[in-house]
């Protein structure tokens, strides 16, 4: 039997739906299942309507689904809104008696989560009760859940843990007289990899890239990355400073990088706008920095807690004039981890800024990552502090064939390091000379050839198909699932996933795209930005685009429906 | 023994003859020599403007950054390697205009940098628009009817933000200025030295003579630890402009407050995979 | 006669139950009713944050702008049409963090707007990071070791910048707050009312009770025109937090100083081709 | 006979070379000649080396030239640097006796400008002396120059005017024993149009667009625009505020525009970077604003006083997420005038931001504009303050077919106006609703169809040629001159000039470009940004690109040389 169950848990902000989701996800993960948790939160602290989608499967899952098998409604609104989305035979778990106001075409089960929780010791245990009832209905063994509670609450006083276990028990009991159509016999195996969200994966990647300093200004959905860094900073030589604004943040990062530590900042589009000028400063001074832009819908404040992929063209072109930069957009937590570590390494090696495009969906969603997150044994330093032969004649911007000049650090040796945001000569002094300007532009762009070699080609699944779906960043999971669905429906379809976006992998993509009769870009923006870039850089014109930009992540089902319509 | 010559830079100077910046440059050299700080121990960060060109005209490590952004750059650099002596050369537009927010928050951080604000009451490099410190009524090409907003009082603002070292110098009083810079560098924490400086090309009001007629050394009996007394001086309503140290009171600087910087600078830490492995296996 | 109901907005409120913002909202309504200012005469500009959502919860003209940018928006709007009554609803992060530079320079301009700074000592909307006014040592998820930088003192900074109306209110003292808002609106020029406000979700230090135990009305004999006295109050080192008007002194506001705004607002001028023709034929 | 003479006047910053150039340019203009003055200034106030190029012709001239017939050297350095550039037979006028240090292959004439000036009353008259000698050598009648002096110094005391005339006389006398090879008989006719720089043309255009408010932060080369506005503001209802930074500037402009006046700001790339977030605010609130980006070379501070065209892709994509905007890049002062006025009108009509790309070269150079700058008789207002039928039900973002909602003004009537940088509903309140989001994005983009109709197609010269040169913005003059030179050399070449850049004139350009065998883009940037856009938007691939990015304006000669090499 194949398990692919989706549970929606909804209620007001502040009711703790995230706790329920997390407990359930951990339980499934521990059982060796694949699981995802996807947030749908409003930009408020209490009230309103928020929900999470929990997808549980015995096969890898990497994207949201439209199928809904169970709704856990902590309030009436959740019932009203989501009950209609339930698959035939689905079940609603509701926390109170709203029978009068409810339509009857779906089965529901009432559990007085709050009341039961009080019996166990406190009404705040209601979430544990709800998780218990839900898990029981899914067929999860109780001791599995108990173990999860033990590891989750291992820091709290024993009494609270005991109460939680009690609440879980009551939750299980409450499920006894109910059956869930898709309940399955849980064969507990060892966990498949790591349960991780994109934000944490970036933070891990930063440490694997030897990040020592981070400055930031809080902005959803980027804050999670910094929060993870803060949580981990207790044990590693990493200083994190909350700046007064994003301009300060990026400039602090540049200052720290200049002085010799690897440094990053994370923000969302609004903050990235404010950092544009600093990006150019990093470029002209050839200071390595990493900027994460966790995308959300705009323009301006837009939808602060939701997802988008609409800043691609912006980050490629941001800041006045032109300069080489790296742009990456990971598609999974593991890619986020490894791309972040690479971004630090490449940024330092080439002395150029690197930008990582995340988004709210990838940042905030929990995934099971099967790849192992390895700490590298060593981290290469590309600075030239110790082995300068002629410190007096040191020139920070000495012309070289590669365009990369030896980078000494200030106050770390006898060489004086001078950097300058004006166009400068080899020594780092302001220049007005036309030839020097030409040479410095050429020097900076000389790096591109070698940078291109570091760009990994897009990954292709089902190469040789007639039709290709092409996506980037966090669309990977849904796109690949859609490809498989389409193939199951006898459509000869493959997929292309682009992570390394700039310098643009034009040759690799041309080779792939020139072979097919049709290709469709799949993106979370309005204007098919990758599609436009492909046309600009390769001359290949996409057949059509599957686009979504209302802030909710696109599911495989939406893609397959759209493709089928377009193919018709 | 270091002499002012040890800070000599071959890079040709860009300033107008007669500019007050030269006096500041000389005082900087003499202060650095006086403290025996050799060029390779010093990082001078600047924004953009005439004042911000200063580090090119001295031997030192130099980050000539963006207009208004010297302080965050300096903050990041100091956190990365707090063994550096970090100076900030900035203008009144750079520091109090474009960079005003950073000015306030750098003070709150008490980051250990010494800010030399070349205050010429005008935007020099962009050819003479009013700056935040331009006096009310001052006419410029861009403000032909005269400045209609109140002048920014950097000393009062710094004091109200809790700055630990607040001083005023004058480019025409080299010895005093050199002493102020030395005291500022010695002060562990944020030090502001607002330096009055004539701009011979664009500021026709606050000329060298205008300043000469007004600057007076702060009286000997001024209590440097009395904040209200310092504010009174800074807000003083008569014509005199007191020069010297308005306020001095040490408290732990930003980097002093971070435990992991106790042993050595961040730059000197090694990458240790075992720490990361512990986190990854958590 | 207008009543507070005339400001009722049907748009559902977003704040957490028990939030201090509700007290501020009520005081605003009562102040506006008290002044007899009907909704269509009022423009409320806000940045981004919980505080900045305020204008949705009232009947008024509303510009809910960018984080930190309420003051320049308000400034532009006021210059375009100075007959509007312009209020700014802003948070401590909005006004003193991201918007810090505009805060300083709006005061210098003495632009005639009334700033209600909902000061909850925390970034509410982004879930509880420290704000510029968070107290030293305050622990948050993002600052688990406690805040290590000094708290921003908005009143002292405003005073040192020459603000003409500087007051402190408390969301738990509605009548006083309503009076302060009325006085602020009546003041011709920049008016700052920093309003202490508990954030029940994220600020566990400065609770309603914490404030209640500390706020005291400013003593009757305080001289509102004495700047040094106001600074003493603002910098006061004991536990008490004086509420009321620290300083009040009118001087011509920005738009009062511009001759061409004497007759009518900029919006009311007609396009006059003859003026342009004269310039083009010059 | 055809006149096309180029005079270089060089010296230290602060020596007054601009005065000499201006006096000479006015004299030529008054005589009915065509003239250009192009600056080459360093970013400093005194010292260093700066120069201007004066091009004088009896036929229209619109770009720099590499030919040099006369050098007026106010210092030795000018002689050393520019004497080698002189055309055979050219003449150097030098202010002092540096005979020993000078190479002898060019003729030079020494005039003790300073000494002569003292004789006339003061050494500051040296510039008048130099202008006098130069004009005398060119053959200009003295009374013409005298009249120019009279109109130039009509505001100063009589004594100073008399001294200037005396100095001019001495300057003329000093030229007596010298001849200039290309001297020509001046047939004084009436002036051909207006002597104007691009900055002033933008300022005129702003007034013709009924601009009432401007906020700015000084930044070269944009400051000139604001300076002209300030100079003109004495007589018109226009308020100008110097902001504390560019972020404040753009937001003040948005605030003023929201409240009901047309408003603009002008900056260069660094300031534009900082304004990116504000641009998005204007877009989502649908507030009409005009931003001029006077381009200069970057990245970051770059070359502050020099020219570039490297921000095109940036301004099209700036700010998070996507929204419609206008982007224009005028090629001449007259285009700058009319485009600016149009930008105000279109921005208000469509309630979208409009961006005008200027550059240092176009902004600071003096041109003779033959078209007449007309003040429009009326300026249409598109606000809906007076005729709202149902003020209580007023919705700022009411859905309409055109995407344009009636725009009432705050405090101007009973309707309450609510705008919001979050995604919002029709009333302007924050929304989290997915359908409303979709509808609002659609509403904003619904405007594009009508916006496209306002986009004027590129101008083509010599349509039907085999080869086309394609340029944008300030490259117009040099590109067209190059086309004519190439045609004179029997190359069947035409030119395309793009002013209206966004929404991109894709259909018009495809039609033009698909007809030719080869086309070359001519741009002042490193990566051929227009070329890239053309490929992205039309699929047409440029044959090659003629690019220059060292901050100095490209001349027709450089273009023809490059094209000939590429054609070989
Ligand atoms: C973001 C940005 N805005 C504007 C400028 C232009 N700019 C260069 S220097 C300067 C002002 C300089 O004034 P100040 O800081 O007082 O220095 P001074 O030249 O007077 O020493 C300005 C506005 C810039 N380089 N960057
Ligand atoms: C440029 C930018 N940076 C960051 C944010 C994210 N942000 C939204 S509200 C907020 C802080 C709110 O704090 P405060 O102003 O004190 O208001 P409160 O929510 O506490 O009332 C931040 C940082 C943003 N919207 N825009
Ligand atoms: S413009 Fe003023 S500040 Fe700048 S160098 Fe000249 S005199 Fe000094
Ligand atoms: S988070 Fe705090 S400030 Fe925001 S609404 Fe809730 S209680 Fe109020
Ligand atoms: Mg200055
Ligand atoms: Mg707050």
The answer to whether the CB of B49 falls within 8 A of the CB of D78 is: no
Return the pLDDT at D98: 58
Indicate the class that CATH gives domain B4-281. alpha beta
Return the pLDDT at D103: 54
CB within 8 Å of chain D, chain A residues 233-272: 247, 268-270, 272
Question: Facing residues of A242 across strands?
Answer: A216
User: Closest-CA residue in chain B for A429?
Assistant: B56
In terms of CATH, what superfamily is A4-174? Pyruvate-ferredoxin oxidoreductase, PFOR, domain III (3.40.920.10)
Other beta carbons less than 10 A from residue A449's beta carbon: 11
Distance of alpha carbon C130 from alpha carbon C170, whole angstroms: 20
Return the pLDDT at D110: 84
Among the listed residues D254, D424, D412, D217, the one whose alpha carbon sits nearest the alpha carbon of residue C74: D254
H or E element at residue A4: strand A4-13
* Cβ <8 Å between A314 and D313: no
B48 lines ligand 1 (CB under 6 A): yes
Contacts C258 to B, Cβ<8 Å: 148
Domain residue spans of chain C: 4-281
* Site to substitute for ligand 4 among C14, C15, C20, C52, most atoms within 8 A of C-beta: C15
Among the listed residues D29, A360, D221, D429, the one whose alpha carbon sits nearest the alpha carbon of residue C63: D429
CB within 8 Å of chain C, chain A residues 29-88: 43-48
**Which of C52, C66, C67, C72 to probe the D interface (max D CBs under 10 A)?**
C72
* Cβ <8 Å between A218 and C123: yes
Sign for the CA dihedral angle at C170, C173, C174, C178 comes to negative
* Whether pLDDT at A519 is above 80: yes
Distance between Cα D124 and ligand 3 center (Å) = 20
* Whether pLDDT at C179 is above 70: yes
Return the pLDDT at A50: 94
The pLDDT tens digits for A468-513 are 999 999 999 999 999 999 999 999 999 999 999 999 999 999 999 9
B123 lines ligand 3 (CB under 6 A): no
Domain residue spans of chain A: 4-174, 196-369, 459-567
DSSP track, A417-469: -EEESB-B-TTS-B---HHHHHHHHHHHHHHHHHHHHHSPPPEEESTT-SEEE
* Whether pLDDT at A100 is above 80: no
* Whether pLDDT at A417 is above 90: yes
User: Which tokens go with B93?
Assistant: 């537009």
Return the pLDDT at A252: 98
Name the residue with higher pLDDT: A259 or A384.
A259
b/e string for B63-74 if b means 16 or more Cβ within 10 A?
Answer: bbbbbbbbbbbb
b/e string for A256-289 if b means 16 or more Cβ within 10 A?
Answer: bbbbbbbbbbbbbbbbbbbbbbbbbbbbbbbbbb
The answer to whether the CB of D93 falls within 8 A of the CB of D73 is: yes
The answer to whether the CB of D493 falls within 8 A of the CB of D467 is: yes
Q: Is B162 on the interface with C (CB under 8 A)?
A: yes
Dihedral pair phi/psi, residue D363, rounded to 5°? -65, -45
Distance of alpha carbon D130 from alpha carbon D121, whole angstroms: 15
Return the pLDDT at D109: 83
* Cβ <8 Å between A432 and D308: no
Return the pLDDT at A155: 80
- What mean pLDDT is predicted for residues C243-250? 98
Distance between Cα B193 and ligand 4 center (Å) = 40
Question: Facing residues of A369 across strands?
Answer: A194
Other beta carbons less than 10 A from residue A300's beta carbon: 28
- What mean pLDDT is predicted for residues A362-388? 90
The pLDDT tens digits for B59-95 are 999 999 999 999 999 999 999 999 999 999 999 999 9
Contacts D14 to B, Cβ<8 Å: 16, 201
H or E element at residue A276: helix A269-285
B132 lines ligand 1 (CB under 6 A): no
Among the listed residues C167, C184, C198, C181, the one whose alpha carbon sits nearest the alpha carbon of residue C28: C181
* Whether pLDDT at C282 is above 90: no
> In whole numbers, what is the pLDDT of chain A averaged over residues?
95
* Whether pLDDT at C46 is above 60: yes
Let me know if the fold of A4-174 is the same as that of A459-567. Answer: no
> Which of the other chains make 3 or more beta carbon contacts under 8 angstroms with chain D?
A, B, C
Return the pLDDT at A385: 64
* Whether pLDDT at B237 is above 90: no
Q: Is A547 on the interface with D (CB under 8 A)?
A: no
CA end-to-end distance (rounded Å), chain A: 33
Return the pLDDT at D177: 87
The answer to whether the CB of A199 falls within 8 A of the CB of A366 is: no
Q: Is A189 on the interface with C (CB under 8 A)?
A: no
Name the closest-CA residue to atom 4, ligand 1.
D219
pLDDT band at A158 (very low <50, low <70, confident <90, very high): confident
User: Which tokens go with D319?
Assistant: 């700010």
The CATH-assigned architecture of domain A459-567 is 3-Layer(aba) Sandwich (3.40)
Query: What lines the ligand 2 site, CB under 6 Å?
Result: A 217-219, 246, 270-271, 274, 301; C 48-51, 67, 91-94, 98, 118, 120, 122-126, 131
Return the pLDDT at D536: 97
Distance of alpha carbon D536 from alpha carbon D517, whole angstroms: 19
Distance of alpha carbon D359 from alpha carbon D303, whole angstroms: 12
- What mean pLDDT is predicted for residues A280-287? 98
The pLDDT tens digits for C145-156 are 999 999 999 999
B161 lines ligand 3 (CB under 6 A): no
CA end-to-end distance (rounded Å), chain C: 54
User: What is the distance in angstroms between the Cα of C68 and the nearest Cα belonging to chain D?
Assistant: 10
User: What is the distance in angstroms between the Cα of A13 and the nearest Cα belonging to chain B?
Assistant: 29
> In whole numbers, what is the pLDDT of chain B averaged over residues?
97
For the CA of B21, the closest atom of ligand 3 is 8
Name the closest-CA residue to atom 10, ligand 1.
B49
Distance of alpha carbon A140 from alpha carbon A312, whole angstroms: 42
From residue D54, give the alpha-carbon distance in Å to each of C42, D10, D66, D69.
56, 11, 11, 10
Other beta carbons less than 10 A from residue B146's beta carbon: 14
Radius of gyration (Cα) for chain D, nearest Å?
Answer: 26
From residue A461, give the alpha-carbon distance in Å to each of A553, A563, B50, D228.
22, 17, 58, 60
- What mean pLDDT is predicted for residues A94-108? 65
The pLDDT tens digits for C199-229 are 999 999 999 999 999 999 999 999 999 999 9
Return the pLDDT at D64: 95
Distance between Cα B124 and ligand 3 center (Å) = 5
Among the listed residues C84, C192, C81, C203, the one whose alpha carbon sits nearest the alpha carbon of residue C140: C203
pLDDT band at C281 (very low <50, low <70, confident <90, very high): confident
Return the pLDDT at A390: 82
User: What is the distance in angstroms between the Cα of A67 and the nearest Cα belonging to chain C?
Assistant: 30
Among the listed residues C163, C173, C181, the one whose alpha carbon sits nearest the alpha carbon of residue C247: C163
From residue A482, give the alpha-carbon distance in Å to each of A61, A474, A523, A543, C279.
12, 14, 13, 17, 65
From residue A252, give the alpha-carbon distance in Å to each of A244, A271, B75, D540.
11, 14, 6, 43
H or E element at residue D497: strand D493-498
Q: Is A227 on the interface with C (CB under 8 A)?
A: yes
Sign for the CA dihedral angle at D436, D442, D443, D444 comes to positive
Find the angle CA(C253)-CA(C256)-CA(C260) to the nearest 5 degrees. Answer: 145
Distance of alpha carbon C71 from alpha carbon C45, whole angstroms: 8
The pLDDT tens digits for B158-168 are 999 999 999 99
Contacts B130 to D, Cβ<8 Å: 242
DSSP track, A285-347: HT---EEEEEE---STTB-TTS-----HHHHHH-SSS----EEE--SSHHHHHHHHHHHHHHH
Name the closest-CA residue to atom 6, ligand 3.
B16
* Whether pLDDT at C168 is above 80: yes
User: Closest-CA residue in chain C for A227?
Assistant: C142
Task: Give the CATH fold of the A196-369 domain.
Answer: Rossmann fold (3.40.50)
pLDDT band at A387 (very low <50, low <70, confident <90, very high): low
CB within 8 Å of chain B, chain A residues 347-386: 373-379
Q: How many residues does chain D have?
A: 568
pLDDT band at B102 (very low <50, low <70, confident <90, very high): very high
3 state SS of C242: strand
How does pLDDT run along chain D (568 residues), one tens digit per residue?
A: 589 999 999 999 988 899 999 999 999 999 999 999 999 999 998 999 999 999 999 999 999 999 999 999 999 899 889 988 999 889 999 887 555 555 555 677 888 898 999 999 998 999 999 999 999 999 999 999 999 999 998 888 888 999 999 999 999 999 998 899 999 999 999 999 999 999 999 999 999 999 999 999 999 999 999 999 999 999 999 999 999 999 999 999 999 999 999 999 999 999 999 999 999 999 999 999 999 999 999 999 999 999 999 999 999 999 999 999 999 999 999 999 999 999 999 999 999 999 999 999 999 999 999 999 999 999 999 988 666 778 889 999 999 999 999 999 999 999 999 999 999 999 999 999 999 999 999 999 999 999 999 999 999 999 999 999 999 999 999 999 999 999 999 999 999 999 999 999 999 999 999 999 999 999 999 999 999 999 999 999 999 999 999 999 999 999 999 999 999 8
* Cβ <8 Å between C73 and D419: no
**Which of A196, A228, A237 to probe the B interface (max B CBs under 10 A)?**
A237
pLDDT band at A107 (very low <50, low <70, confident <90, very high): confident
**Which of A49, A203, A241, A242 to probe the C interface (max C CBs under 10 A)?**
A242
The pLDDT tens digits for A122-141 are 989 999 999 999 999 999 99
User: Which tokens go with A312?
Assistant: 């691609």
Task: Tell me what ipTM this predicted complex has.
Answer: 0.98
**Which of B11, B67, B94, B139 to probe the D interface (max D CBs under 10 A)?**
B67
pLDDT band at A386 (very low <50, low <70, confident <90, very high): low
Other beta carbons less than 10 A from residue D413's beta carbon: 17
pLDDT above 90 coverage of chain A, percent: 88
- What mean pLDDT is predicted for residues C246-267? 96
Distance of alpha carbon B227 from alpha carbon A120, whole angstroms: 57
User: Which tokens go with A193?
Assistant: 């990899």
């Amino acid at each position: 039997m194949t398990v692919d169950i989706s549970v929606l848990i909804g209620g007001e902000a502040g009711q703790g739906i995230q706790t329920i989701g997390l407990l359930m996800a951990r339980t499934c993960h521990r059982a060796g299942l694949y699981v995802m948790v996807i947030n749908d939160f409003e930009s408020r602290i209490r009230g309103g309507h928020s929900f999470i989608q929990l997808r549980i499967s015995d096969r890898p899952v990497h994207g949201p689904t439209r199928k809904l098998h169970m709704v856990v409604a902590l309030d009436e609104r959740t019932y009203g809104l989501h009950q209609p989305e339930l698959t035939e035979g689905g079940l609603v778990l509701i926390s109170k008696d709203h029978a009068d106001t409810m339509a009857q075409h779906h089965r529901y089960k009432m559990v007085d989560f709050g009341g039961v929780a009080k019996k166990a010791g406190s009404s705040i245990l209601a979430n544990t009760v709800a998780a218990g009832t839900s898990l029981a209905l899914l067929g999860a063994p109780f001791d599995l859940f108990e173990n999860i509670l033990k590891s989750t609450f291992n820091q709290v006083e024993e009494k609270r843990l005991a109460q939680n276990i009690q609440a879980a028990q009551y939750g299980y009991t409450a499920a006894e007289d109910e059956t869930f159509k898709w309940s399955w016999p849980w064969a507990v195996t060892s966990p498949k990899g790591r349960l991780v969200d994109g934000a944490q994966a970036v933070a891990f990647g930063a440490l694997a890239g030897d990040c020592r300093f981070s400055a930031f200004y809080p902005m959803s959905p980027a804050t999670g990355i910094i929060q993870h860094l803060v949580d981990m900073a207790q044990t590693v030589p990493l200083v994190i400073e909350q700046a007064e604004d994003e301009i300060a943040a990026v400039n602090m990062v540049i200052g720290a990088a200049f002085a010799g530590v690897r440094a990053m900042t994370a923000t969302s589009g609004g903050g990235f706008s404010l950092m544009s000028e600093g990006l150019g400063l990093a470029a002209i001074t050839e200071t390595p920095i990493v900027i994460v832009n966790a995308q959300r819908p705009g323009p301006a404040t837009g939808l602060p807690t939701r997802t988008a992929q609409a800043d691609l063209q912006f980050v490629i072109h941001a800041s006045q004039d032109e300069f080489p930069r790296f742009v990456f957009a990971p598609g999974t937590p593991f890619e986020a981890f490894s791309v972040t570590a690479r971004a630090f390494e490449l940024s330092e090696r080439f002395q150029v800024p690197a930008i990582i495009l995340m988004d709210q969906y990838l940042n905030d969603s929990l995934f099971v990552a099967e790849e192992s997150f390895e700490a590298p044994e060593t981290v290469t330093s590309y600075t030239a502090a110790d082995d300068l032969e002629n410190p007096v004649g040191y020139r920070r911007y000495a012309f070289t064939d590669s365009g990369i000049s030896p980078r000494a650090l200030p106050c770390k040796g006898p060489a004086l390091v001078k950097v300058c945001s004006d166009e400068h000569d080899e020594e780092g002094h302001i220049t007005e000379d036309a030839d020097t300007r030409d040479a410095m532009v050429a020097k900076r762009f000389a790096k591109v050839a070698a940078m291109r070699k570091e760009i990994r080609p897009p990954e292709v699944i089902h190469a040789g198909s007639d039709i290709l779906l092409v996506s980037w960043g966090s669309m990977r999971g849904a796109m690949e699932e859609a490809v498989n669905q389409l193939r199951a429906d006898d459509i000869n379809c493959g997929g292309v996933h682009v992570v390394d976006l700039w310098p643009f992998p034009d040759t690799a993509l041309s080779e792939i795209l020139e072979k097919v009769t049709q290709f469709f870009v799949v993106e979370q923006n309005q204007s098919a930005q990758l599609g436009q870039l492909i046309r600009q850089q390769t001359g290949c014109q996409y057949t059509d685009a599957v686009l979504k930009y209302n802030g909710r992540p696109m599911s495989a089902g939406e893609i397959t429906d759209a493709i089928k319509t377009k193919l018709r | 023994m270091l002499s002012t010559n040890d800070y000599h830079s071959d890079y040709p100077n860009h300033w107008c003859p007669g500019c007050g910046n030269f006096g500041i440059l000389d005082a900087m050299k003499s202060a650095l020599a006086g403290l025996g700080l050799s060029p390779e121990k010093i990082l001078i960060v600047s924004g953009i403007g005439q004042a911000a060109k200063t580090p090119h005209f001295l031997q030192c490590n130099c980050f000539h950054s963006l207009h208004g952004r010297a302080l965050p750059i300096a903050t990041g650099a100091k956190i990365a390697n707090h063994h550096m002596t970090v100076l900030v050369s900035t203008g009144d537009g750079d520091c109090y205009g474009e960079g005003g927010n950073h000015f306030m928050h750098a003070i709150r951080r008490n980051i250990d940098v010494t800010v030399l604000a070349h205050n010429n009451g005008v935007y020099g490099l962009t050819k003479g628009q009013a700056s935040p410190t331009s006096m009310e009524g001052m006419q410029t090409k861009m403000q032909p009817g005269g400045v209609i907003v109140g002048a920014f009082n950097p000393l009062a603002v710094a004091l109200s933000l809790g700055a630990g070292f607040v001083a005023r110098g004058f480019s025409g009083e080299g010895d005093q200025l050199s002493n102020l810079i030395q005291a500022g560098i010695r002060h562990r924490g944020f030090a502001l030295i607002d330096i009055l400086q004539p701009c011979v090309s664009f500021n026709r009001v606050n000329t060298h003579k205008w300043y000469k007629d007004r600057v007076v050394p702060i009286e000997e009996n001024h209590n440097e630890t009395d904040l209200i007394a310092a504010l009174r001086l800074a807000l003083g309503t008569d014509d005199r402009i007191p020069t010297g140290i308005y306020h001095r009171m040490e408290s732990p600087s930003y980097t002093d407050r971070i435990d992991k910087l106790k042993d050595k600078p961040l730059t000197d830490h090694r990458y240790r995979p075992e720490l990361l492995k512990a986190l990854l296996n958590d």
